[in-house]
Structure 1
């Protein structure tokens, strides 16, 4: 019996390499390939964990092949011809096997490198999910979605609301022109969208619906579906009057997806959901007072940082999130039709817009909460107002009793009837005084001017015109200039500072120890686009038609902002929430601040200086106070009442907003 046969028989009979005889150990040291070639069947050569086997061999100085070669060879079938060759010329066989292995590896490496050089086929990798099936009328089957059953459809799809949002982003772009950006743009971005959110949630509250649920989860399916109105369309060729295509619908339970888009150098690039999560984490780290490579400068807990934080949230997290949601049905975005969530023209129509923006606002609220409650001790002018000093009157009723009062906004009438000897009286039962504001739903023939010029009968909200009267007493021997800031909030939400709605702010001057009644027309509120859009023609005047857009595109964005400023502002028809048929209780709040240096304008300039900043590109925001003041910070101990308790320059009372069938219009 040969040594080779003897040793291989010994291997078959033992269970561990340590049982090999010294003769066989020496034999395998000199002929290590024999273990490989003979396909040993012993348990210790067939272990699944080859590393242990190799360590055992190494202990005895037996050099073995790499795992992949060993396993491949071990599993090959026995070929008699090959076996014969091995017996006749072992050295030649070793060289042949090794060379073949090296050649195969070299070939695979080359193929791998060539494959890496080729750009991935993103279009194949990022395929569209199943699309929505629509009926002939452009809507899905009514069992899937019926706009008649969508309680907030009328509000989200209000044409003038969507025009306002579109105009704001044109008037307040985030970029720079000639090295200058719009004053406090980032802070304004947060506040304007909070203003919209507060109004949206107030209307939901009036309907008994839950408040908007922030879209904080970037992983779980999104239950909200969106089916755009059939007449809503977008340009396919950028030519006024050219080819138009619909916005894509979104079925329920879609998820955030990685998307492919064009980079700055016109190459395809991927935005991953994980990138969005990282961006959120970086912002929250910054808010917590820490720094990193993205935010090397610490974010201080001062009002001056509002614009920086707001701008950072807007241009990164907000914008990328909008694009991911906007292309959720077409993750390969190149040459794909975006949804309404891309761009500002129609985004508010989608319920997901509100969920995303509530999430964005909550990030900012976290920073405001770190600032803590505001100390108002340095903004308490010597003025007294009381709960009974807040008086509301419908304009049509005032016209009946004093038609000429329209010339001075009934100031003379009010000082005679509400001031003087009546200054300290409760006037809640006065025939021209009301504690209930009214709204109604109207119907009009709407022309889709920004789309295909189709006609559609739509419902829209409309308020009954009213006048604010506020009795105020100057407690000092000197004249005082005051800013009256008017807010409302659903009675159940008054302890949440981000849910208050700013209605108006205006300036007045009181003489020494003067007891005066000041007035302000609701249709001249600083929050609305002026002149107030009351007629259907006025409502349609602010539409950015394809032909008007074509003219704007020839200007730089600073010129565009100035040219469209007067069309920017909240719609008058939505100045207050709709309320309910039974009446919804709101808290009316008036804060009188020192008006000597707050820069609040005293004229009735076009547009809305509250929401849209200054008219000219370099104009300052006409109020040095933070956006949302005095509701720009959390309340003391989380309580509205504790925060303003004992302040003479503050007054609040309950009012009702009621949705009625009809009322006189003026």
Structure 2
């Protein structure tokens, strides 16, 4: 179904759901909507996520029978009693329904700005005022990034865990692990650039959460986010969570999922998918009672450490739109990733024996539109912090900071020795030299950890004609980022627009400004790694028009037959430099990233 004209009533109803407008137009449709606000809706609570999925299904039926105005009016009615439920359901509806894709959601930046400026004077410039404590302050800029938070929110809308089993997307569980692992890899590299160690996993669930977090003016129409003091622990009885934790860890180490006598064998990256479906408590979970809601319950116990005895108060970990702001998010997800890493690390390594007619002669990173050949020194890229301002209709202005970089492009030189064209897949990663040494032994305890810091930059199909060819790919076309690329978060098209470029599926993707790490003033050293694989076997098609192929798939499919993160999804048997030297489908290049220490 193509785009349809969206009425002002539909737009108004959507704004009501997100607490940005006043109800107009339609009278209530029914008498059976919720009449009481339950304590703090959270999509990480299995029961709440299930109710939101059921409401989304109901919106789909109403839209088909009575149209978008009626569906959004019903969502607006539900929001009067339970705005959190209505908001998440409308998000699912906007992504998983043909008619719903014509509904555009207000950007997270606009929502954040509107609530932060609620008590400000006319014409006043405001900031959120949120911050962590201790050394974690150095990474506040990263965790508070508007588009990074919107990506996390929208990933959980594009990949909802409690929809009907038939609506669970292909390889959902594997992507749950991979998308969060890539966020962690980027976070750890940013920590390194700030002089901090990689994030410490929350391995002991009864131990201190570490740094505190103050959400400042952050709130929504249905939640008051409360601060958490340093040194707090997960709140509530943790016995069940600890039991779930032990069971998942045992499944990862034994390759057997479920209770004794009913186990399901875990094999290859299909095993990653099954493990992830259990960890996130999806509706395809095979052992719901045995494996429970491990991921979501952890979020809930951390959020509860901030509660101030009201139904509206909670910590930011309760909401997908705010969770990554909290340093504890990264500690909890590092622990979740540790469980999955232990499974991957026990799998047989890749043999890299795929035979290709196309050889990779080299890769370089250039300024966008640059055509200069690669020189002997490292390729350089410059990053800088920028200050943005979002102007609200009431003449108030919301100020925010974000990272940006000079436009760049990859250039790869290829040689096809066959008589005719051959399709290949180009895979590009950025390896931080301080965390991933290409000459180190990858079979040692520390060496096995290196692959966790490989940052995916791009993945694309190339049709290579016979002979030599140079292929150029702009960073703004990366398969990782939200596309079309957004340079300034304030440029995000909002609810008033008429096309579908801001639907939840299109806004799923990593921010363009965070595609490469910030680096350091003196220059942070990386290796640019590229690899070719057989596209006929990979089944990677043409790039999608919007969103992120690597993090969000294409429709209901994941367009790559290889394991997510390949070739760094398993342990290596030899130093990477040695593998590259003996493999004509691999290449390395030195890159230096320089950060301009000023806000523009």
Q: In structure 2, what is the equivalent of residue 297 of structure 1?
A: 263
Question: Does the 8 A contact of 1:171 with 1:561 survive in 2?
Answer: no
- 1:202 counterpart = 2:156: no
**Contact (CA 8 Å) 2:385, 2:404: kept in 1 or not?**
yes
- Write the distance in 1 (CA, Å) between the matches of 2:257 and 2:533: 36
Rounded Cα–Cα distance in structure 1 between residues aligned with 2:179 and 2:211: 24
The one-character-per-residue Cα deviations of 1:326-371 (angstroms, maximum 9, x if unpaired) are 1123397x82522110120011110000011111011000000110
1:383 counterpart = 2:358: yes
Match for residue 547 of structure 2? 607
Q: Please state if 1:342 is matched with 2:318.
A: yes
Q: How far 1:224 moved relative to its partner?
A: 1.4
Residues 320-359 of structure 1: matches in 2 within 5 Å? 320-330=297-307, 335-359=311-335
Q: Are 2:485 and 1:532 equivalent residues in the alignment?
A: yes
Asked if the contact 1:599/1:624 (under 8 Å) is kept, the reply is: yes
- Tell me what 1:306 maps to: 272
Render the CA deviation track for 1:254-274: whole Å, top value 9, x for unaligned.
Answer: 12232xxxxxxxxxxxxx301
Pick from 523, 533, 541 the counterpart of residue 493 of structure 2.
Answer: 541
Distance 1:325 1:155 in 2: 20
**Which deviates more, 282-291 or 200-209?**
282-291
Match in the other structure for 2:74: none
Write out per-residue CA displacement over residues 616-663 of structure 1, whole angstroms, 9 at most, x where no aligned residue.
xxx3111111111111111215x4335545111000122101112689
Verify: 1:623 aligned to 2:587, yes or no: no
Match of residue 379 from structure 2 = 435
Identify the residue that residue 243 of structure 2 maps to in structure 1: 278
1:599: how far off? 2.4
Separation in structure 2 between the aligned mates of residue 291 and residue 158 of structure 1, nearest angstrom: 37
Q: Deviations over 1:107-132 (max 9, x none)?
A: xxxxxxxxxxxxxxxxxxxxxxxxxx
Q: Corresponding residue for 1:641? A: 577
Aligned-pair distance for 1:561?
13
Call closer, same or farther: CA 1:392–1:630 in 2, change over 3 Å.
same
Q: Is the 8 A contact 1:198 1:501 kept in 2?
A: yes
Aligned to 1:652: 588
How far has the Cα of 1:199 moved from its partner?
A: 0.7
- Could you tell me which residue of structure 2 aligns to residue 506 of structure 1? 460
8 A Cα contact 2:188 2:198, kept in partner: yes
RMSD over aligned Cα atoms: 3.4
Task: Describe the shift of the 1:382–1:613 C-alpha distance in structure 2 as closer, same or farther (beyond 3 A).
Answer: same
State whether structure 2 residue 578 is matched by structure 1 residue 591: no
**Residue 235, structure 1, aligned to residue 258, structure 2:** no
For residues 499-543 of structure 1, the C-alpha deviation after alignment (integer angstroms, 9 at most, x for no partner) is 11101111111223x1110110111111111111024442x436x
Match of 1:223 in 2: 210
SS in 1 for 2:402: strand
Q: Is the 8 A contact 2:481 2:510 kept in 1?
A: yes
Whether the aligned pair in 2 keeps the contact of 1:174 and 1:182 (CA below 8 Å) is no
Q: 2:166 aligns to what SS in structure 1?
A: coil
Residue pair 1:172, 1:561 contacting (<8 A) in 2 also: no
Give distance in 2, aligned partners of 1:192 and 1:319.
Answer: 16
In 2, Cα distance between the equivalents of 1:663 and 1:223?
A: 29
Which whole-Å CA distance do the structure 2 matches of 1:440 and 1:219 have between them? 39
Which digits, 9 at most, give the CA deviation of each residue in 1:415-441, with x for residues without a partner?
xx75xxxxxxxx316xxx970011111
Q: Distance in 1 between matches of 2:165 and 2:502?
A: 15
Measure how far apart 1:305 and its partner are: 1.7
Aligned to 1:6: none
Distance 1:145 1:626 in 2: 36
Give, in whole Å, the separation in 2 of the partners of 1:235 and 1:247.
Answer: 11
Residue 575 of structure 1 is matched in structure 2 by 515
Q: TM-score, normalised by structure 1?
A: 0.63
Post-superposition offset of 1:584: 0.1
- Taking the aligned partners of 1:596 and 1:305, their CA distance within structure 2 comes to 24
Residue by residue, what CA displacement relative to the aligned partner does 1:61-96 show, whole Å, maximum 9, x if unpaired?
Answer: xxxxxxxxxxxxxxxxxxxxxxxxxxxxxxxxxxxx
Q: Is the 8 A contact 2:509 2:552 kept in 1?
A: yes
Residues 1:440 and 1:354: Cα distance change in structure 2 (over 3 Å): same
* CA gap 1:536/1:215 in 2 versus in 1, 3 angstroms: closer
**1:140 CA displacement:** 13
- Provide closer, same or farther for how the CA distance between residues 292 and 623 of structure 1 changes in structure 2, counting only shifts above 3 A: closer
SS in 2 for 1:354: helix
User: SS at the partner of 1:235?
Assistant: coil
Give structure 1 stretches of 5+ with no counterpart.
1-135, 237-244, 259-271, 399-413, 419-426, 549-559
**Contact 1:286–1:299 under 8 Å retained in 2:** no
Deviations 1:540-594 (A, max 9, x none): 436xx8x99xxxxxxxxxxx99942111111111110000000000110001111
> Structure 1's 448 and 376: CA in aligned 2 closer, same or farther, altered over 3 A?
farther
Deviation digits for residues 288-338 of structure 1, max 9, x if unmatched?
Answer: 134653782233232222211111122221111111111123397x82522
CA distance 1:148–1:541, shift in 2 (3 Å) = farther
**Cα distance in 1 between the residues matched to 2:541 and 2:501:** 20
Q: In structure 2, how many angstroms separate the alpha carbons of the residues matched to 1:598 and 1:291?
A: 28
> Is residue 319 of structure 1 aligned with residue 296 of structure 2?
yes
Contact 1:636 1:642 in 2 (8 A): no
2:350 corresponds in structure 1 to 374
Greater helix share, 1 or 2? 1
Asked if the contact 1:226/1:350 (under 8 Å) is kept, the reply is yes
SS of residue matched to 1:231: coil
Is the contact made by 1:205 and 1:490 (CA closer than 8 Å) also made in structure 2? Answer: no
In the alignment, the residues of structure 1 paired with residue 411 and residue 256 of structure 2 have an alpha-carbon distance, to the nearest angstrom, of: 48
- TM-score, normalising length from structure 2? 0.69
Rounded to whole Å, the distance in 2 between the matches of 1:363 and 1:535 is: 36
CA positional deviation for 1:191: 0.6
Pair 373,447 (structure 1): closer, same or farther in 2 beyond 3 Å: farther
Match of residue 480 from structure 1: 422
Q: Distance in 1 between matches of 2:402 and 2:176?
A: 26
